């Protein structure tokens, strides 16, 4: 790399130091253009959230009648209604399928154990789990690798402006739904809540494609949605609907989308997201009412409130507050340790998953066998406990659900560990949060279950199945909280069930690092508003403690996957640099009227998605910036071959006769015009094409001396893909360079300036 010159500055001590290598003619940005999406490596690119104000767009906007504007607004509300209905239906289907499949498996195992056929019971239990795990892993391995994992990091990156073809594809939606059902029913320590967020986003993306010419869905109004801005709004609503469908928490869903998922927010989007989650809540309520009385098999016992603890007495003293603070602090430490170990496991599993689909399936089946051995084997180490006299009619529980599982115990006795392991994840949480069963679980039972689910949750996340982190963290936190509550016993006024809830909150705060949305979700889950002050205290403490060690689990996964995520704040070292310090070269630009051969050569040799357009004499008095033209727009224009033999302006009117604004809209699922689709003949290479009608004449620009920290905030807040850097002094070319998302990444900046400390 050849430097043009070096810049020297004198610090306050009078010592000279090298500040920067100045812009290099051929300095390249070597940050990766690929990232891990699900369990697969995919090429990525940025999204265009900026309004492209070219002549075609302006004409289309001015020509819209009041009726067309009303149609556009009405269609937006119609689409979010459809997103809410569809996400609610999928959420209901997921619960229905998981409860019935897992219920059949547990019934089969329980019946064999009642006949004292213990080896057959284990064989049936383990085989069912491994078959379900193999099916879930096969769906991910062969149909859509992007569906593996939670999906929340990918959705978060998409809403930040990072796109990959497979993130929100229909195949991903299909695998996310059915893979999540089979994975959760297989008994893995995973949840369906994270995948539901991804599912809601996929549904929203499907509705927001702006129509399809292939399937003749080209209703005139749908053309308005052929852009990334409207799709971003719809996908934000879909993510909120996913949380609402998973937890039956409509307000929590909106707040989760605002606090964790979305990078850009406005009041109109808040209304639409709230409407979407309300639709989900009403739909789920209707289905739950319909399913009461056994109409839907084993589903429908929980009601809209999943883990009701409203009957518990909430009274606490100053001594209890000390215990609650300790729960929050320890939960923060354990949560940060959980994130650290999950990161190590994910990196290890990524090496295994790279070896092919068969290795992905084998890994999933191995973890399934391990989980089955723990779920079936550990209860044998637990002592049999006599049933409480007041519950002789309900103890032991013979069926699928309930607090008191008989397992191998004699009549009128139950097995504490079996009550937690031999049930669905939702039932295990419900048992732990129960306030009417003080003394049900011994300290050894709770400690053994906590260690088991803590470790199983870590080793399970990262296998090639759709898997969420919410439920594993809530289970581990609930068992930890119940352990503390049982340990304190009569020394505290709060019962063990409420300590279990606070333990879940502390673990969620320590891993997820969100506060407001988690607080509201837990309140909606448990229907106990009196716990609000304690829950807020626990979440704040656990998050503060965990932040001392590492980042939130989703932020870690985003970084590990290589997704170029723009943070809401700039890094400290950016304050020492200006915009021109990180520009990559060489800069490729076009004239306002450019030769076809030059454009085609640039498109073939450069992967850039935006090119500055510079007017030169005779079209202007001096070289001046006309605007920015997108690669996708150039491809559409070249395909139509609107060329001239002379270098003259065509005028916008001629082009508008042939094109409409929606012709340059973003194609659904990336099926736009490709470079391979062009058929340019040799004599056409010497012809000219006028770029003015498709050039964005008002691109965002910053002066080259703007601090990089300020430019990063500007870039992120406006949701840009390209930021033009212009010279401060006259006599230079109109454009110094273009800043893109990758120019703000730490790998690029610290590669140029290795003497910078990334943490200072």
Q: Is the pLDDT of residue 22 over 60?
A: no
* CA distances, 173 to each of 195, 216, 228, 669 (Å): 10, 22, 19, 13
Q: Is the pLDDT of residue 184 over 90?
A: yes
Each residue's pLDDT tens digit, 671-691: 678 888 888 888 889 999 989
3-class secondary structure for 41-89?
Answer: EEECEECCCCCCCCHHHHHHHHHCCHHHHHHHHHHHHHHHHHHHHHHHH
**Locus of tokens 């119940």:** 482
Percent of the chain clearing pLDDT 70 (strictly above): 88
Task: Measure the CA–CA gap between 699 and 515, rounded to whole angstroms.
Answer: 37
Query: Do the beta carbons of residue 322 and residue 124 sit within 8 Å?
Result: no
Strand partners, 413: 386
Q: Is the pLDDT of residue 600 over 70?
A: yes
> What per-residue confidence (pLDDT) applies to 216?
58
Please, how many CA atoms are within 13 Å of residue 689, restricted to the half-sphere of its CB? 29
Q: Is the pLDDT of residue 668 over 70?
A: no
> What per-residue confidence (pLDDT) applies to 669?
57
Please, how many CA atoms are within 13 Å of residue 244, restricted to the half-sphere of its CB? 34
> What per-residue confidence (pLDDT) applies to 365?
97
> What per-residue confidence (pLDDT) applies to 10?
37
CA angle 444, 542, 38 (to 5 degrees): 90
> What per-residue confidence (pLDDT) applies to 28?
65
Q: Is the pLDDT of residue 171 over 60?
A: yes
> Whole-number mean pLDDT of the chain?
86
Task: Measure the CA–CA gap between 438 and 442, rounded to whole angstroms.
Answer: 10
φ, ψ at 478 (rounded to 5°): -65, -45
Whole-structure pTM value:
0.90
Each residue's pLDDT tens digit, 530-555: 889 999 999 999 999 999 999 999 99
Task: Measure the CA–CA gap between 150 and 530, rounded to whole angstroms.
Answer: 31
> What per-residue confidence (pLDDT) applies to 424?
82
The neighbour count for residue 586, using CB atoms within 10 Å, is 12
Each residue's pLDDT tens digit, 423-470: 888 888 888 888 765 667 889 999 999 999 999 999 999 999 999 999
3-class secondary structure for 532-560?
Answer: HHHHHHHHHHHHHHHHCCCCCHHHHHHHH
Q: Is the pLDDT of residue 17 over 50?
A: no
> What per-residue confidence (pLDDT) applies to 599?
94
Query: Across residues 597-601, what is the average pLDDT?
Result: 93
Each residue's pLDDT tens digit, 316-354: 778 889 999 999 999 999 999 999 999 999 999 989 988
> What per-residue confidence (pLDDT) applies to 15?
39
E strands, 547-677, are: 590-591, 593-595, 610-615, 624-630
> What per-residue confidence (pLDDT) applies to 37?
80
- DSSP secondary structure string for all residues of 283-337: HHHHHHHHHTTTTTTT--SS-SSSS--TTS-----HHHHHHHHHHHHHHHHHHHH
**Locus of tokens 């052929």:** 226
DSSP category for residue 562: T
Each residue's pLDDT tens digit, 213-240: 555 555 666 777 878 888 999 999 999 9
> What per-residue confidence (pLDDT) applies to 16?
34
Long-range contacts at 679-683 (CB < 8 A, ≥ 24 apart): 680/596, 680/600, 680/638, 680/641
């Amino acid at each position: 790399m050849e430097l043009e010159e070096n810049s020297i500055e004198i610090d306050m001590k009078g010592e000279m130091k090298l500040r920067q290598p100045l812009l290099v003619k051929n300095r390249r940005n070597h940050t990766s253009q690929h990232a891990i999406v699900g369990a697969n490596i995919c090429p990525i690119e940025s999204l265009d959230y900026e309004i492209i104000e070219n002549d075609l767009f302006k004409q289309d906007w001015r020509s819209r009648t009041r009726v067309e504007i009303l149609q556009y607004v009405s269609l937006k509300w119609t689409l979010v209604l459809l997103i809410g209905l569809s996400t609610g239906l999928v959420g209901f289907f997921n619960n229905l399928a998981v409860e019935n499949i897992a219920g059949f498996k547990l019934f089969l195992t329980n019946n064999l154990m009642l006949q004292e056929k213990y080896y057959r019971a284990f064989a049936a239990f383990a085989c069912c789990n491994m078959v379900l795990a193999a099916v879930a892993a096969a769906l991910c391995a062969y149909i859509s690798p992007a569906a593996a994992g939670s999906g929340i990091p990918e959705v978060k990156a998409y809403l930040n402006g990072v796109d990959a073809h497979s993130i929100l594809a229909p195949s991903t939606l299909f695998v996310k739904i059915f893979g999540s059902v089979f994975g959760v029913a297989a008994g893995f320590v995973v949840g369906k809540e994270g995948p539901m967020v991804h599912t809601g986003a996929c549904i929203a993306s499907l509705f927001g494609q702006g129509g399809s010419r292939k399937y003749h869905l080209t209703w005139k109004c749908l053309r308005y949605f052929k852009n990334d801005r409207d799709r971003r709004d719809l996908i934000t609503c879909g993510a909120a609907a996913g949380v609402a469908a998973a937890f039956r928490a409509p307000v929590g869903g909106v707040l989760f989308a605002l606090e964790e998922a979305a990078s850009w927010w406005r009041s109109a989007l808040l209304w639409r997201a709230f409407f979407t989650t309300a639709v989900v809540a009403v739909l789920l309520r209707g289905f739950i009412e319909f399913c009461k009385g056994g109409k839907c098999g084993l589903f429908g016992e929980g009601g809209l409130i999943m883990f009701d603890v409203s009957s518990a007495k909430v009274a606490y003293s100053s001594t209890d507050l000390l215990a609650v603070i300790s729960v929050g602090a320890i939960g923060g430490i354990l949560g940060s340790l959980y994130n650290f170990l999950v990161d190590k496991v994910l990196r290890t599993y990524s090496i295994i998953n790279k070896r092919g689909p068969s290795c992905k399936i084998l890994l999933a089946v191995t973890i399934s066998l391990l989980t089955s051995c723990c779920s079936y084997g550990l209860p044998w180490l637990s002592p049999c406990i006599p049933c409480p006299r007041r519950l002789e009619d309900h103890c032991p529980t013979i069926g699928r659900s309930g607090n008191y599982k008989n397992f191998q115990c004699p009549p009128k006795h139950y097995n504490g560990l079996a009550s937690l392991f031999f049930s669905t994840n939702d039932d295990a949480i419900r048992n732990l949060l129960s306030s009417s069963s003080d003394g049900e679980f011994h300290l050894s039972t709770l400690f053994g279950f906590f260690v088991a689910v803590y470790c199983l949750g870590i080793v399970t996340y990262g296998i090639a199945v759709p898997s969420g982190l919410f439920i594993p963290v809530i289970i581990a936190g609930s068992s930890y909280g119940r352990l503390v509550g049982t340990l304190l016993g009569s020394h505290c006024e709060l019962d063990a069930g409420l300590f279990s809830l606070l333990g879940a909150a502390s673990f969620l705060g320590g891993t997820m690092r969100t506060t407001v949305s988690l607080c509201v979700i837990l309140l909606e889950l448990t229907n106990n508003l009196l716990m609000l002050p304690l829950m807020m205290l626990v979440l704040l403490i656990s998050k503060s403690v965990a932040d001392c060690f590492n980042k939130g689990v989703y932020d870690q996964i985003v970084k590990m996957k290589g997704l170029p995520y723009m943070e809401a704040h700039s890094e400290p070292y950016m304050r020492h640099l200006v915009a021109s310090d990180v520009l990559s070269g060489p800069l490729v630009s076009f004239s306002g009227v450019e030769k076809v051969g030059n454009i085609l050569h640039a498109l073939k040799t450069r992967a850039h998605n935006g090119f500055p357009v510079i007017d030169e004499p005779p079209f202007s008095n001096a070289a001046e910036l006309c605007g920015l033209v997108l690669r996708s727009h150039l491809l559409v224009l070249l395909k139509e071959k609107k060329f001239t033999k002379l270098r003259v302006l065509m005028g916008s009117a001629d082009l508008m006769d042939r094109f409409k604004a929606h012709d340059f809209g973003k194609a659904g699922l990336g099926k736009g015009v490709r470079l391979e689709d062009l058929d340019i003949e040799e004599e056409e290479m010497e012809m000219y094409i006028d770029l003015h009608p498709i050039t964005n004449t008002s691109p965002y620009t910053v002066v080259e001396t703007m601090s990089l920290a300020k430019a990063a905030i500007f870039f992120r807040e406006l949701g840009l893909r390209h930021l033009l850097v212009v010279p401060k002094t006259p006599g230079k070319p109109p454009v110094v360079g273009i800043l893109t998302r990758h120019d703000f990444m730490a790998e690029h900046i610290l590669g140029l300036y290795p003497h910078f400390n990334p943490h200072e």
